[in-house]
Amino acid sequence: MRCDICHRPHHTKRLPFLCAVDARNRLYEGRLEYARALIQAEEAESRVNDALEKAAAARDPKSKLKKDEKDVAAARIAWLTAEEQAALERTSHIIAQADKLRSEIEAARKEIAVKKDAIARRRSDLMAVTAGTVSRRARQLDEVERSTQRLRYKWNRIADATAITRAFLCEEAARLYGLRQIEEGSAKRYEIGGVELFDLHTMNGLSPELISTSLAHVAHILVLACDYLAIRLPAEITLPHKDYPRPTIFSLSSSYKHDKVIFPGSALAIQQSAAAAAEDKRLPRPRPLWTDRPLPTLAKDYPDVYSYFLEGVALLAYDIAWVCCSQGVSLGDGDPFEEVCAIGKNLWRLLIAGKHHNAHQPHKNRRRSPEPAPYSPLSGNSPRTEDIAGEMANPKSSTSTLGRWSHGTCHSYLGTAEGMEFIRSFKLLSPYKIYDKLKRRLSADAPLMDWERIEGDELDDGFEDGMLGRIEAGGNSAGMNAGNGPPDIRLDRGNGGGGSSHGGIGIPKGTSGWTKLRNR
């Protein structure tokens, strides 16, 4: 045994009484001897008792039986005592459980009684409440319906006032811009900003300055009117801005879907055209609403630019016609192409000659329709029942439809199912059909190309344009007139009476000249 303190093995002689463990081990020997003595004493006692019992049994055999009976009786008494104790314990447990169940039953009875009282009270309250439920429900429904009709009436009146305001703003903007109709006998023409508004199929005989200025004014007033009307045009128009000084228009598929735009003719377009072509990147290309040369010359020299210009003009005319249809302005019962091309008349009908504006009165005497006052329970201007009934029967009824349909209000919103159905009801030519018809019409009405005498610096400019032809004096002009020359070319008679005709070409005697093909 090792000591718990000094961690050394015990030795009775070398290290006696070094610690408590050593002292305890020293005492163990006496304790062990005492235990052996007690065991031996018990064994001796048991042997003596056995010997005495054997001797007593030899003397009296009945004493042994009595002893056995006593032992059995004592064991039975002990068993019965244990059973009685167990029964008492079970009985006390059962009694405790019964008392617990009895208390729970009593609590449940009290709770049931409380619930019965509550149910009885609620039943009585329900009977009292349901006594007038039908009449009260009918009254509440009637109040809700009246309130709904009143709110809808106010909403419609506010929408009418908004439409009147929009129409007024559009008319005033158009008049401030100088949009007017000029009657010349039975004919009518239109101007905006002092510039004539032409029909699209008459552009061949117009100067590029007139075309560009007129289209710029039309694009500006159209965007301004659509801003007042809260309408998004089908073909997006880009007005002049700091990076590009010309108006342009996008195709229907590219409108409102572009992040980066390269405008035609800009420096950025020239710089990035090669990079865009190398990357095969299809950037949206806006169509120009301007031109810097007459249309016949543009069609001959730059057919692609001419096509883009005609597409832009067709998209602009389609935008104007679409806005007219969305505002309930009729384009007329004539040829659809002719009606769409009359952009001046359509703008006049849209912005000034609508039903709301009383166009037959002078502008200074025209009075604006009063806006209805909003409903207020305190002001006493509650709408009459017949007004509400009429408004409910025809909620879109108004003196004018200009300014009613838009993309900026929930009332008469063009994006709803009803608005989309209204848009699908437009009987308009598509921009591509307008473009095809316009191109064919302009090609058919193109002026004939005339030969004209030029000299000096104009001769050099003509060579740069690549449109010169040389005719020597005394050449085969008679053969040209006889049918060898171009059939659509007329030759001028010269500049004075001093020259000979030479088959119809005005060339002075003894000289040679150059002629340049021009548009007359």
pLDDT of 18 above 70: no
pLDDT of 286 above 70: yes
3-state DSSP assignment of residue 452: strand
pLDDT of 298 above 70: yes
Lookup: tokens for 326: 């969305």
Return phi, psi of residue 77, to 5°.
-60, -45
pLDDT of 271 above 60: no
User: Quick one: residue 75, left, alpha or beta (phi over 0 = left, psi -120 to 50 = alpha)?
Assistant: alpha
Quote the percentage of the chain above a pLDDT of 70. 67
Fill in the amino acid letter for 155.
W
Who wins on pLDDT, 68 or 363?
68
Cα–Cα distance measured from residue 463 to residue 446, given in angstroms and rounded to the nearest whole number = 24
Fill in the amino acid letter for 125.
D
Instruction: Provide mean pLDDT across the span 123-127.
Output: 88
Instruction: Provide mean pLDDT across the span 143-157.
Output: 95
Q: Specify the DSSP class assigned to residue 76.
A: H
This prediction has a pTM of 0.57
Mean pLDDT of the chain: 75
Lookup: tokens for 239: 């007005």
pLDDT of 518 above 90: no
Instruction: Supply the pLDDT for residue 223.
Output: 96
pLDDT of 466 above 60: no
Instruction: Provide mean pLDDT across the span 459-486.
Output: 34
Task: Tell me the chain's radius of gyration from C-alpha atoms.
Answer: 58
Cα–Cα distance measured from residue 203 to residue 117, given in angstroms and rounded to the nearest whole number = 95
Length of the chain: 520
Among 70-74, 122-126, 362-366, the range of highest mean pLDDT: 122-126
Lookup: tokens for 503: 């088959």
pLDDT of 204 above 70: yes
Who wins on pLDDT, 399 or 46?
46
Half-sphere exposure of 212 (CA within 13 A, CB side): 14
Encode pLDDT of 369-422 as tens digits. 334 444 333 333 444 444 444 444 444 444 457 888 999 988 989 888 988 898
Instruction: Provide mean pLDDT across the span 340-367.
Output: 66
Cα–Cα distance measured from residue 445 to residue 132, given in angstroms and rounded to the nearest whole number = 84
Delimit the domains of the chain by residue range.
163-274+282-357+401-443
**Confidence label for 496 from pLDDT (cuts 50, 70 and 90):** very low
Return phi, psi of residue 105, to 5°.
-65, -40
**Confidence label for 512 from pLDDT (cuts 50, 70 and 90):** very low
Instruction: Supply the pLDDT for residue 456.
Output: 47
* Nearest residue to 233 via CA among 219, 244, 247, 245: 219
**Confidence label for 1 from pLDDT (cuts 50, 70 and 90):** low
Instruction: Supply the pLDDT for residue 136.
Output: 85
pLDDT of 168 above 60: yes
Instruction: Supply the pLDDT for residue 144.
Output: 95
pLDDT of 145 above 90: yes
Strand partners, 449: 519
* Contact in structure between 153 and 395 (CB atoms under 8 Å): no
* Nearest residue to 285 via CA among 319, 302, 309, 301: 309
Cα–Cα distance measured from residue 31 to residue 388, given in angstroms and rounded to the nearest whole number = 118
Tokens 């019962």 -> residue: 333
Q: Please return the burial class of 407, using the count of CB atoms within 10 Å of its CB with bins 0-12, 13-18 and 19+.
A: middle
Which residues touch 491 (CB under 8 Å, ≥6 apart)? 451, 477, 480, 481, 503, 504, 505, 506, 515
pLDDT of 510 above 90: no
Instruction: Provide mean pLDDT across the span 257-261.
Output: 77
* Nearest residue to 292 via CA among 350, 380, 209, 192: 209
Tokens 């003509």 -> residue: 462
Fill in the amino acid letter for 503.
G
Fill in the amino acid letter for 135.
S
* Contact in structure between 19 and 25 (CB atoms under 8 Å): no
Cα–Cα distance measured from residue 453 to residue 469, given in angstroms and rounded to the nearest whole number = 11
pLDDT of 289 above 90: yes
Listing DSSP states for 42-64 in one string gives HHHHHHHHHHHHHHHHHH-THHH
Q: Specify the DSSP class assigned to residue 295.
A: H
Lookup: tokens for 99: 């008392």
pLDDT of 105 above 50: yes
Tokens 């509440």 -> residue: 140
Helix H or strand E segment including 313: helix 303-326
For the chain, helix, strand, coil in percent to 5 are 55, 10, 35
